[in-house]
Amino acid sequence: MLAAAPWSLAVFTLSLPFALADTPLYQLTDLVFVALTLINLIAFARMTFAWHRAVVLGNIPRDTTARGGTAEAKHLVLLGALTIAVAALGRATGDLPFVVYVLLNGAEDIRFWGALIASAAIIWLPVLYALATYGLSLPRVATTGEYGFGHIRAAMPYPRWPLMLILLALVVVAGFTASVLSPLTYTFVTGADVAYAALGVVLSVLATFVVTAMYAVAYRDAPGRAGESA
């Protein structure tokens, strides 16, 4: 699976720190971060597209013309939309502790943590469930060229909660890494900062690999998929 797109994996890993860093566009040089973020998203899409096809199609000869075709373009659009939406929600909920603190008039006891956890659960549980359900459209479009939103809900052959947990882990790890990387764009960098950032990037890539594999395996094992053409 990893051998399906080694160069895309390398580009994705190397550009991920720039994509996660929250850089304000105050200077012209900050546009470099924007360019590297776009490169990261494209590498992300090409990498997962190849991984999905490798898992779902197995030993079936894979059509090399799929690269750059309609299926890959649709996969990029869907993955980009999901990534941007989740990233925006993650940035928005990053201020949730402050909002809860203000609403509770500065309470720092168990009420604060209870309200914070409950608020985060209300926001993220439906999102994680939707991702665990409709994310199967990613391997479907990679192998058939069609999203199949109308049928994908019933296609999940396994319980959704393991995938939801891994998706939550990916969001948490990516959020932690972003919180480490963002200050490094304007403050002095220490060895510990670099170590934490590197660890976060590695864990993010690992979680991405696991999520992609789980999506592909779930779609591959979905009942009735055998009649579809790649």
Q: Which tens digits make up the pLDDT trace of 114-154?
A: 888 899 999 999 999 999 999 999 999 999 989 888 878 77
Tell me: the pLDDT tens digits for 208-225?
Answer: 999 999 999 999 998 766
pLDDT of residue 65: 46
Structural domain for 89, as ranges: 2-227
Amino acid at 213: A
Q: What is the dihedral of CA 108, 112, 113, 117, to 10 degrees?
A: -160
More confident site: 214 or 181: 214
pLDDT of residue 66: 60
CA angle, 180 then 172 then 30, to 5°: 40
pLDDT of residue 112: 83
Q: How many domains does the chain have?
A: 1
Instruction: Give phi and psi for 52, each to the nearest 5.
Output: -60, -45
| Range 161-183 average pLDDT | 91
Q: How far apart are CA 79 and CA 44, in angstroms?
A: 9
pLDDT of residue 46: 94
pLDDT of residue 33: 84
